[in-house]
Amino acid sequence: MEDDPAEVVHEINQRLHDQLDAHLVTVVYAVVDTQAGRIAIANAGHPPPLLRRRGASTVREIGIADAAIGLLADERYGATRMALEPGDRLLFYTDGVTEAASPSGRHFSVEQVKSTLRERPDVDLESWADYLLEKVRRWTGRPTLTLDDDLTLVAIDIP
């Protein structure tokens, strides 16, 4: 893997730390090598990506989140490295998913995200992501997916 995610995230933190004042930025940086079947991830305060192995009934978080960008000037970030197999599916998402609130104020939890992704293991990637967005929309009780925070999904199928 050409770029070391831990070094890239460390460099981002070094360059931005003094410019952010009291603000923080979350980042997840991943290098996915589909030909070699490998992934390396560094995480700075972002929700950990989720992995569903082909044919598995579980969805699990990958890696751990180190400090957000701007929090600690000399933070040393770690990287999680692991093998991927054809048919594995990855989901990177922002906290807009898990901070989507129901009418009673309860947030859509990481466990709910995992459960939703287990419900439709054999659909195409776009349908998988759309199904999650629909579940979040229903959770909020709104007629359209209008949220109070940004929401981004990046889903990847390993060929």
With CA atoms as reference, report the closest residue to 57 among 115, 111, 132: 115
CATH number (3.40.50.360, 3.60.40.10, 3.30.70.20, 3.40.50.2300) of 5-157 reads 3.60.40.10
Q: Are 139 and 102 in contact (CB under 8 A)?
A: yes
Ramachandran angles phi, psi of 66, nearest 5°:
-80, -175
62-92: burial string, b at 16+ Cβ within 10 Å, e else: bbebbbbbbeeeebebebbeeebeeebbbbb
Contacts of 2 (CB under 8 A, 6+ apart): 31
Alpha helices for 40-120 (secondary structure H): 95-98, 110-119
Eight-class DSSP state of 57: S
Can you give the pTM of this predicted structure? 0.90
Give the residue extent of every domain in the chain: 5-157
pLDDT at 137: 92
pLDDT at 21: 84
Q: How far apart are CA 120 and CA 129, in angstroms?
A: 10
Eight-class DSSP state of 101: B
Question: Taking the chain (159 residues) in consecutive chunks of 10 residues, what is each chunk's mean pLDDT?
Answer: 85 91 91 94 96 93 93 92 96 94 96 94 91 94 76 94
Contacts of 111 (CB under 8 A, 6+ apart): none
Contacts of 72 (CB under 8 A, 6+ apart): 13
pLDDT at 2: 58
